[in-house]
Structure 1
């Protein structure tokens, strides 16, 4: 179906991103491709889709793949028909129906008389009913743009589908439709995603890392189990190597002490024997060479073990190093923080058909759910006191909250990484302590002067968590707004572990059911029930 042999790709500046990539995809395989940000996942999909050419190697496919790209606004000037690749056929069909029955129009249409109807059925399947194909993509929301490309699968009915982060902008309903497609489709799928619910629908997980692909013959849960076994083995090897290094250094010390004593005794005997100076110098040189040789043998052994140790440490996940270590939130468990009674927004036209009634208590973990446009962000602003309700009543106790949106807007892009960290240094930590914490969150010395504007989503998330540890005093409430949208799996793991250490109140807006489960969300406010 799809075959890659010794595929490589280098950026125009000659930095090698992919090398020696070998992959074979069989008919009806459902494969998930995972890896850290920057590992080359999207680049590999573009190579498979024929969007870019590999620098070296062979790519063979039995059929033309259908490619659903990651969306960054690059299609905003295209119409829906152009984005779907059907504009020529739609124009030809329209021309024929208007009486322009030319050879050119008939050739372009190629007897595909149902193209317009097929497009509308496909768009309706993704809840885009009645959307005109001439509408510009820039007029659509992120979720709608994704659904347009997903609708294209039904329009073109390809054998091979390549999906790059398809659930990123989808609400829960959209994700459910996507999950159903992945489970039931006869198409061959290769999916790049960090959505762990989606990843568990795959039959094989491929991990792209350090310019190689490692295959795991199961879904994401199976992959996690195997990685745990691998990491346990690596940790055991690490302990053994550390022990071997300590023993090698101790052996070197004892051997050198013993050699020095032998050299000292030999010198005293030679002096007592009254040997000639020239012979004494010869014996001295011989002893020094012998000592140097012994030292060289031990140094070589220690260097070899140290290199093995360094390699092992580089392979072990650094997730565990990044702990929040915050003081507990000041509020006692169970204190009522927010009470909403018949809450609504708007005056002439209310946002919710039914008013909201709920309480938020200290220590709770709550998910705010709802389709796109259901008012999740509006509700957060009311809870934070940034927006007054249009109807009903909201009582709010005094509490300290921090709102972390998916763009990490609390990070000041005009500052360097070190300056951003210092902004949170309310406890007046010493400079070396701030830098130690930056290093713990994977910001070593060469990063400290780097501008925040140049950071990826995952890096901004790590810097945000690091800043919280520098501030030390935990907020009473943390609000996360779509926290996993721009993170790879590694950074989602870091965020999950950090949030699970947090002892205060947690509000999460997320369509990622797997993440909500892992951060132990107990209750939910579902705004879909009020629309």
Structure 2
């Protein structure tokens, strides 16, 4: 059982990150925590784990939760057993078995006589049986570090597990193990993730926003359907407000025209009847005051409707406007733009691939490069880019322009601001206002133009990268993406998906996110 009551958190600079977060997780609940980047999901997990303190609110829980963080750099200098907080237990057990049965050793072991067997079983399940518990965490890959902490769940056997983007560094085999574990575990789970396959294994979804927590009683697909219903209702509200605004403006115009006619008719009548000038001035002032009051009444009504409409529109998705806009005539469908014959590469005189690679890439193809971690996916990309020469076989590349986008969007220069970065791609001499219009289209307002690229989140870097590609005069014939969704929230994955689906050139993607590959219509694979 976990209960959060009105939890609020404030950054050291006094900026409030979130306020009054409340929810309950019951026994056996498997819950997703979703929301846009920067809303505070990871911070909330750290608060529940006791690593950060809220400025207000209360947390009620029956036991200490087990936390699998998103980043592991802080553990590089400690051993696996230290990272999993089992070093003292393992040491005490060994000393007891060797005859050193002291009160301290018995207290440290705490009757946990099966700790070694659980370690062996857990490491074996996560395919880490070759690791030594005293090995330093810094010697492991990102995927291995993730698996070590996932193995810790089976070792510690906690009632509640907190997972922050657990599939980020896992290959297909690792993800399959994770999915099977989530389906079988009896622990309660609270998971922050953008992995739609994983999210669909959970039975409850919490959406975190600046307004708090919205609970949806189902998996991600259920949540997505509910969001579509909300979006449709929002669009109907916008249309209704637009009609109300148009009607209010017409009513204002008709009323003013009618009042003007009445005033004009009254003036003529007064002139004919010989009303004194001073009386006419008084009557004219009354008429003007009456007209002014009418205008104020209508202006206030129109202003209120306009404010409501502006607020409703700001809640609508902005995905549709973020498109590449490349001309389709740039791409000749079906033309061979890359060919590999008996291709292989070697490190230390050993061939990277067991069998030589033979494949063709045609203009308009949508391909994924698949293989386990360490199978040579990045090496193959570098060969396609022309950065590496094959040690065996031949390659023919006919693509005039190829863009490689890695998961950190390293094509962006951290020492530039947003506007300067956009100008780096301005090879067709667009005017300044055109550049700024495109930046606005990709959600970079005037307040953002001087912001350093170094400060941007993963989603912001992705949007700026897409924007820069629309500014460039020459459309790339091939776009290669390497784990593009790793640092993105669900909203930004949808933005990227919409942009890629509008792109008509050749797409080559490395990704372990099967949902993303399906949504961008990947039709074939190069298997390594």
In the superposition, the TM-score normalised over structure 1's length comes to 0.96
Matched, 1:293 2:293: yes
Q: 2:70: which partner in 1?
A: 70
Q: Note closer, same or farther for the CA distance 1:277–1:413 as it changes in structure 2 (3 Å cut).
A: same
**Regions of 4+ moved over 6 Å:** none
Q: Provide the residue aligned with 1:447 in structure 2.
A: 448
Q: Deviations over 1:397-431 (max 9, x none)?
A: 24311000011111111111111111111222221
Give the match for residue 50 of structure 1. Answer: 50
* Deviation, structure 1 residue 12: 2.6
Deviation string 1:280-327 (CA, Å, 9 cap, x unpaired) is: 333223222211211111011111101110111121111122111111
The residue that corresponds to 1:349 in the other structure is 350
Query: Partners of 1:299 and 1:331 in 2: how far apart?
Result: 52
Aligned equivalents of 2:298, 2:415: Cα separation in 1:
51
CA distance in 1, matches of 2:156, 2:421: 49
Q: 1:429 to 1:203 in 2, by over 3 A?
A: same
The more displaced of 401-410 and 111-120 is 111-120
Q: Distance in 1 between matches of 2:473 and 2:21?
A: 45
- Give the equivalent residue in structure 1 for 2:366: 365
CA distance in 1, matches of 2:350, 2:422: 44
Tell me whether 1:190 sits opposite 2:190 in the alignment: yes
Q: What residue in structure 1 maps to residue 254 of structure 2?
A: 254
Deviation of the 1:337 alpha carbon = 1.8
Moved more, 146-155 or 80-89: 80-89
**CA gap 1:384/1:329 in 2 versus in 1, 3 angstroms:** farther
What's the CA shift string for 1:359-381, capped at 9, x where partnerless? 21111111001111110000001
Cα shift readout 1:351-396 (whole Å, capped 9, x = no counterpart) = 1122212221111111001111110000001111110111122222
SS of residue matched to 1:229: helix
Q: Secondary structure at the match of 1:446?
A: coil
- Where does residue 339 of structure 1 map in the other structure? 339
SS in 1 for 2:351: coil
- Corresponding residue for 1:437? 438
CA RMSD of aligned residues (A): 1.6
Report the Cα offset of residue 98 of structure 1: 5.5
- For 1:448, what is the secondary structure of its paired residue? coil
CA contact (8 A) 1:329 1:474 kept: no
Aligned-partner Cα distance in 2 for 1:75–1:282: 85
Structure 2 unaligned regions, length at least 5: none
Q: Secondary structure at the match of 2:292?
A: helix
CA distance in 2, matches of 1:457, 1:16: 21
Q: Is the 8 A contact 1:3 1:25 kept in 2?
A: yes
What is the CA-CA distance between 1:135 and the residue it aligns to?
1.9
Query: In terms of mean alpha carbon deviation, does 19-28 or 196-205 score higher?
Result: 19-28
Deviates more, 1:196-205 or 1:279-288: 279-288
- The answer to whether the aligner puts 1:160 opposite 2:160 as a matched pair is yes
Contact kept, 8 Å, 1:329 with 1:503, in 2: the verdict is: no
Matched, 1:502 2:511: no
Distance 1:114 1:185 in 2: 19
Separation of aligned partners in 2, 1:445 and 1:452: 15
How far 1:467 sits from its partner (Å)? 0.7
1:117-516 → structure 2 map (5 Å cutoff): 117-328=117-328, 330-346=330-346, 348-516=349-517
Query: Aligned equivalents of 1:473 and 1:253: distance in 2?
Result: 50
The TM-score normalised by the length of structure 2 is: 0.96
Within 1, Cα distance between the matches of 2:320 and 2:32?
25
Contact (CA 8 Å) 1:405, 1:483: kept in 2 or not?
yes
Give the superposition deviation at 1:508: 0.2
Query: Any idea what SS the aligned residue of 1:37 has?
Result: coil
1:94 Cα deviation after fit: 4.0
Instruction: Compute the displacement of 1:171 (Å).
Output: 0.7
Q: Matches of 2:388 and 2:40 in 1, distance apart?
A: 42
- Structure 2 CA distance for aligned equivalents of residues 128 and 268 of structure 1: 98
**d(CA) in 1 for partners of 2:49, 2:386:** 48
Contact 2:159 2:188 in 1 (8 A): yes
Shift of 1:124: 2.0
Matches within 5 A, 1:72-111: 73-97=73-97, 100-111=100-111
Counterparts of 1:98 and 1:337, CA distance in 2: 67
Give how far 1:264 is off: 2.5
Q: d(CA) in 2 for partners of 1:214 and 1:188?
A: 19
Q: Residue 17 of structure 1 contacts residue 211 of structure 1 at CA under 8 Å; is this kept in 2?
A: no
Mapped partners of 1:3, 1:332: distance in 2: 58
* 8 Å Cα contact 1:414/1:452 also seen in 2: yes
8 A contact 2:331–2:504 mirrored in 1: no
Query: Residue 328 of structure 2: SS of its match in structure 1?
Result: coil
Q: Is the 8 A contact 2:406 2:481 kept in 1?
A: yes
1:28-47, aligned counterparts within 5 Å?
28-47=28-47
Go from structure 1 to structure 2 and tell me whether the alpha carbon gap of 1:197 and 1:250 turns closer, same or farther (over 3 Å shift): same
Supply the distance in 1 between the matched residues of 2:378 and 2:301 (Cα, whole angstroms). Answer: 60
